[in-house]
Amino acid sequence: MALFIPQTTTTTVSLFLLLATTLFSLLHAAGDKGHGSLVLGLTHVRTVSPPRVAAVTTDMIEPLRGFRDGYLISLNLGTPPQVIPVYMDTGSDLTWVPCGNISFECMDCDDYRHHKLIAAFSPSYSSSSLRDLCTSPLCADVHSSDNPYDPCAVAGCSISTLVSGGCPRPCPSFSYTYGAGGLVVGSLTRDTLRVHTQSSAATREVASFCFGCVGSTFREPIGIAGFGKGALSLPSQLGFLRKGFSHCFLAFKYVDNPNFTSPLVVGSLAISSKEYFLFTPMLKSPTYPNYYYIGLEGISIGNDTMAIAPSNLRSFDPEGNGGMLIDSGTTYTHLPEPFYSLLLSKMESTIVYTRSNEYERRTGFDLCYETPCSDGSCSDSLPSITFHFLNSVKLSLPKDNCFYAMSAPRGSMVVKCFLFQIMDDGGYGPAGVFGSFQQQNMEVVYDLEKERIGFQPMDCASSAARYGLHQK
C-alpha cells in the first residue's frame, strides 16, 4: 500500500518534540481535569485576503453528528473522494485531516485508539491532490508571517525568485497550536472538496480547496474543520464569509449514535427567514478578529434576580482581551472568577438536594447532587438558568444543557452535575466561553452579513428531516 508521509524539516520536528514535551510536562504538573473540553484556537489570527478558489454559488447543507465531546462533519476530499470525519470548530480557522493510515501519529491520544471512526486521508490515492506552494497567501497565513517572503525563504528559494514571486517550491511544513495545548504538524495540501447543496442528493465540486495534511499531533486525534473568519477557514474558502452559517447541535443523549444527525447550513439559507430568532450583536476583538464574540450582561438562576456579569464579558481591553467567545470546539461554558464562584454560591442556596462529594472528586465538576429517580422517571426541581446577552436577549437553557446524569440511576436516585467550568485564561484571550454543551437543541445562526448571532430553541434531531437529512 502506498502511503503519504508529510515532508518535515529537522527544525519543525525538533520544535514539535520540544513543544509537545513541554506541554506534556505542564499538563501533568497541573493535573488533568479530564472533561474532554477543547478550548481551541486563539492563534493564527492575521487577516489576509481570501484565497481564490472555485466558490460555491449555492448553499451547502451537511449533516452533523455528536461524537464524544464535539460534533462531526464529514469532508469528501480527493478524486475519487475519501470521506474523512472532522470536528466542526467555530473557534479556529485551519481545516486539517489526518494523513497516512499507518504513519499518522497522535501523542497522548490513547483513549481514541480503539474507535473505528478515525479515518486518514491518502493524497497518493487522489489524482487531484497537490502540495500548496510557498507563494500562496494561505502558506503565509498558516505560518503566521507578516512577510510573504518568509515561507519561500524557509523553503530555500533564491533572492531573485523571492522578489519575482516565482519560486515553485512547496509550502514548508507548519505547526498549528490550540488554546487547550493541542498541537498539529503537517503540510498544506490542495484538493477537490465535494459539498452537498440544498438537494441532499446533489453535490458540488470545489476545486483547489486548501487544508492541512497532518502526520503528527499532540492531543488532537481527529481532524478539524475551522469555521472562523480567517482566510484558511472553510466558509471563507467557499466564498460564504459575507453571508453566514447555522448549526443545530443534537442533544447529548445521541452522542456516538451514527443513526442521528442534525443540519449544518452554510450560505444564504442559513440567515434567511430568521426574524423570530433572538439576535445579539457580534463583538469585534481588535486582537482576535477571526473569532466570534458576544457580550454577556448576566445570568439568572430560577426566579432569582440576574447576577451581573463583569464588564470584561461584554467588552475588550486595549490589548483585545475580554468578551465571551462562542465556540463549538469548547465542550462546556467557562466563566471567570469571581463571577463563576458567585454563580455557584447562588446555585447552592437554591438547590435542596444532597451534594455528592464522591462525584465531585471523581469528575472534577464543582457541583454534583443526588436527585430523585424512581420507576424510570428522573424528574427533579433543579433550577433553570437564563443567559442575558446584549440587545436584551434572554436565552433560557434547557435543564439538560446545564445538568447531566453522570451514571445510571442507583436505587431511587441519580447523580447530576452542573456542567460549567472556571475560566483559567491567565488574563489574556476571551474572558469567557459559551460552549457546545450549552448549545444543544437550539439553532444558532452566525449572520455574518449583519454581524449578529441568533438563537432559537429547536429539536435538532427532528430538524434534520426539514433539510432532507433523514435519519437512518
> What's the structural domain count of the chain?
2
Average the pLDDT over 197-202 and give the result: 67
- 204 vs 114: which has the higher pLDDT: 204
Q: Indicate which CATH number applies to the domain containing 377.
A: 2.40.70.10
Binned at pLDDT 50, 70 and 90, residue 375 comes out as low
Residue 226 and residue 285 in one domain: no
From 108, 132, 191, 327, active-site residue: 327
Phi–psi pair at 312, nearest 5 degrees: -75, -5
Residue 215 and residue 92 in one domain: yes
**Does 415 reside within a domain?**
yes
pLDDT at 470: 57
Task: Using the 3D structure, point to which of 205, 237, 266 is the last residue of a domain.
Answer: 266
Task: Using the 3D structure, point to which of 225, 240, 266 is the last residue of a domain.
Answer: 266
Residue 217 and residue 293 in one domain: no
447 has which bridge partners? 244, 452
Clarify whether 110 is annotated catalytic: no
- Give tens-digit pLDDT for 412-445: 899 999 999 999 867 788 999 999 999 999 999 9
Residue 262 and residue 275 in one domain: no
Identity of the residue numbered 19: L
Does position 282 have pLDDT exceeding 50, yes or no?
yes
- 58 vs 320: which has the higher pLDDT: 320
Residue 232 and residue 293 in one domain: no
Clarify whether 327 is annotated catalytic: yes
pLDDT at 230: 94
Nearest to 355 by CA among 365, 366, 369: 369
- Give tens-digit pLDDT for 115-168: 655 689 999 999 999 999 999 999 999 998 778 789 999 999 999 998 888 898
**Residue 427 structural domain:** 270-467
pLDDT at 15: 41
Identity of the residue numbered 294: I
pLDDT at 113: 65
Please tell me the least confidently modeled range out of 44-48, 51-55, 108-112, 311-315: 44-48
From 89, 108, 132, 447, active-site residue: 89
| Residue 363 Cα distances to 207, 309, 407, 412, 434, angstroms | 46, 27, 11, 21, 20
Cα 286–Cα 425–Cα 384 angle in degrees, nearest 5 = 100
pLDDT at 54: 47
47 has which bridge partners? none
Residue 331 and residue 227 in one domain: no
pLDDT at 166: 85
Look at the block and give the residue holding cell 497516512: 100
Secondary-structure percent of the chain, ordered helix, strand, coil, rounded to 5: 20, 35, 50
Residue 131 and residue 164 in one domain: yes
Task: Using the 3D structure, point to which of 236, 266, 296 is the last residue of a domain.
Answer: 266
Structural contact between residues 97 and 211, judged by C-beta atoms closer than 8 angstroms: yes
Residue 375 and residue 358 in one domain: yes
pLDDT at 103: 76
Structural contact between residues 65 and 80, judged by C-beta atoms closer than 8 angstroms: no
**Does 46 reside within a domain?**
no
Residue 365 and residue 226 in one domain: no
Residue 381 and residue 451 in one domain: yes
Please tell me the least confidently modeled range out of 136-150, 205-219, 278-292, 337-351: 136-150
User: DSSP strand E in 121-243: where?
Assistant: 130-131, 174-177, 183-196, 203-218, 223-226
Average the pLDDT over 260-288 and give the result: 92
Binned at pLDDT 50, 70 and 90, residue 19 comes out as very low
pLDDT at 177: 92
Question: What is the DSSP secondary-structure string of 269-307?
Answer: HHHSS-TTSEEEEPB--SS-TTS-EE-EEEEEETTSPPE
Half-sphere exposure in the Cβ direction for 112 (13 Å, CA): 19
Distance CA 335, CA 329 (A): 16
**Does 37 reside within a domain?**
no
- Give tens-digit pLDDT for 64-91: 999 988 999 999 999 999 999 999 999 9
Residue 223 and residue 185 in one domain: yes
| Residue 58 Cα distances to 6, 192, 208, angstroms | 34, 17, 18
**Does 85 reside within a domain?**
yes
Distance CA 288, CA 305 (A): 33
